[in-house]
A and B are shown apart, each in its own frame.
Chain A
Amino acid sequence: MAKEKSIPFYIGIGIVSFLLVVMLISIFYTPHDPNAMDSTNRLAAPSLEHPFGTDNFGRDILSRVMEGSQTAFIIGISAVSIGLIIGFILGASAGYFGGWVDEIISRFIDAMLAFPGILLAIMLIAVFSTGMTNTIIALGIMSIPSFARITRSSFMQYKKYDFVKASIAKGAGSIRIIFHHILPNAISPTLVAVALSFSGAILSESGLSYLGLGVQPPDPSWGRMLKEAQPYITSAPWYVFITGVAITLLVLGFNLLADGLRDKQDKKA
């Protein structure tokens, strides 16, 4: 089969890998200590010393944005993993076994979908208090329904395929059917959902942090930086701008990646 070139896919890959590299660098090196305050140099305009300027405490914005990318990736990866694992198990059982198992799980998922996601997260955080771990758990739970639904539908679809029936006729058990026959075929639609949930989780985290419910100081978070930058939008516009661009880039990158993956899948089908 000819390899189809999908432009959004490559742009997405480019943006995401660029931010990934930035994140990896920030683990070992940032131009300044992201938490070092310099009261003589508050809200400084971009310069050679501080390429993106400094914030209201005189901290280097470039370093903080770099450090913030770690938070973004940790939250994205952990929240998506939680949602993926639980959602996959729920969706796979519902789709594979059908009947009353499906009925119970599907109604449970419907109930989760009935809550606005962010409200659910705020509720969870209100109960379990703020912090990185609780934010991750809340965002993970938020993404369960979409994974569960996608997995359920692809399991239901592939369960009916002749190759699955042929394999049952050859004596294959449920475990073999699930892991060898259905799972490899269900991966590509799930990948799209992973990419979309990733950007969704980062966006929600920024939203929560903006409201002061997400990641707490001193961990840098793009959402909270945006909140801190808000009062200075006229006096130090670069602060808002840089932080906003960082969030946008990451979300855009993952969305393009998801679009590209979907295109590739559609072409195959």
Chain B
Amino acid sequence: MTSATTISGHQGLQMDEPLIFELDSPGSSGVDLPPPPKVKSRLGAVAARNGVGLPGLSEPEVVRHYTRLSQKNYAIDSGFYPLGSCTMKHNPRLNEKMARLPGFADVHPLQPVSTVQGALELIDTLAGWLKTLTGMKAVALSPAAGAHGEMCGMMAIAAAHEHRGGPARKRVLVPESAHGTNPATAAALGMTVEAIPATEDGRIDLPAFKAKLGFDVAAVMLTNPNTCGLFEREVKALADAVHEAGAFLYCDGANFNAIIGRVRVADLGVDAMHINLHKTFSTPHGGGGPGSGPVVFSEALAPFIPLPAIIHDDDGYRLIETQDDDDGTALAFGRMKAFHGQMGVFVRALAYSLSHGADGLYQASADAVLSANYILAKLKDTFNAPFEGPCMHEALFDDKSLKGTGVSTLDIAKALIDEGFHPMTVYFPLVVHGAMLIEPTESESKRSIDQFIATMKGLAERAKTDAASFHAAPTLAPRRRLDETAAARKPILKWKK
């Protein structure tokens, strides 16, 4: 149902756009081709009998259709996008200019290595930045995004245990303050996941971990800063205990933006950590561009990292595709992807790094944390903050202050849409009731953050007197509230006439 009451279904210049198949006008076409010459068909039984079912539209209709759809895509380029845990930061246009250079944009992964030396140098240079920023020994660049990176890290850990021999290690301990993908990754690899509850202040419970550690534990997976937006202070002590038990420490680096340039992950005793280039190193994401999740590794895990590897020697840059003693890749556990990884994102990530410089990255994490703390400080008297600040790069509130108003966290999110903001992350992390997780990133100006804060305060005020208006929200968006339950229970995945 649309909220419009117009005859056309459009609202102002916001068009109500049907599916392209519903725009079908049989016989319409964007091209004027001469009729095909009369030839005897040799297709026989394999000839298409029922047509291919493509809709008929003129060229202007097609252009309008996709232009209108693109205008419906709310993006960081259109406004504030405080989706917690997603680091929706600005993608500098310089990145785009670099990514479009023909030497990067038009290369093919199967080209002879001698013709892509520059591209390989770029990958190798980026690898150097990631190793320097984390203090880690090695990096695998091919993983496609965060969860794929987690899998890569955990597969290296499994390979290391196998190489070392001894009894099977299948248990993985995961704190409740970790990202949900962490236990999912371990379970997907056939490991048994044990969740360890967080402490009252939203952090890992070190004594609880120590009690659970044993010689059948493969790894501990944690997220730092954790998903409550808090820095895990006892990581080093945890890492020491983990190593003493012969296990490895995996760190989810999705929140690296809060600590980049300030914390050397290697100093914390981490053995493997993925870095979301599409978050921390800008590059478009979230319905836009692809992800990229390189994984950095400690010395203990470095021999097991997946192929391909890039080696720089007297012959220039070489691409190592198979396990080889001479190249130090004999123990590589295999590969995560057919090719080298997400080249377009590598270019943007390196452009981001070089244009900021080390001092710029140091500044960026400070600004990201400052923005979040500004929101926390300004809103904590309006909404309840379950954990004492200061926070890292995201501010977390629960729904305690909404109690008795009849307005829920979801209602606040929907009302924000009417106000022209992308909602924050809601109901996550699960350990916080009615969670609202707000990540402003360093991209936002004080003006835009102040506008958001004023809106949140206004909504909280309205919630006390006018719950009904929230239940109706959004009223100004192209669609009203969608039936999420029906969409999940009975999804329509295929267009039918």
Q: Are the chains A and B members of one assembly?
A: no
Contacts from B to A (Cβ < 8 Å): none
Contacts from A to B (Cβ < 8 Å): none
